[in-house]
Amino acid sequence: MLWANGQISGFEMKTGNAQLTGNQASVFVKAGKDPDGNQLYNIPANATVTSRLLKTLNMEKGQTLAEAGYTNGIVIKEVRKKGLNDKG
């Protein structure tokens, strides 16, 4: 996770034609593209997070991002790289 300009953000690395996981697809909200054409998403402030992100943000299980002080949610940049089977 990165903190810049008062906003916390992260990266989601996808290779080849990989799609968002089911959990990601149910929570991530498309938020446009960055200047390099990477898809941007927002994890809304009313969302709860699990696992590694929960620990990284030092949050309690079941706590929303807003309750933890992330009132603007979290911006996620999707970065795509070629997969093992991609030609070129």
Q: Is the pLDDT of residue 64 over 60?
A: yes
pLDDT of residue 1: 63
pLDDT of residue 4: 54
pLDDT digits 0-9 by tens, 15-38 = 888 999 998 999 999 999 999 999
Structure tokens at 25: 């697809």
CB-based contact 50:62 (threshold 8 Å): no
pLDDT digits 0-9 by tens, 47-63 = 998 888 888 888 999 99
Sign, CA torsion 26/32/34/38: positive
Q: Which of 41, 2, 3 is nearest to 23 (CA)?
A: 41
Plot region of 35 (φ>0 → left; ψ -120 to 50 → alpha; else → beta): alpha
0.85 cut: is pTM over it? no
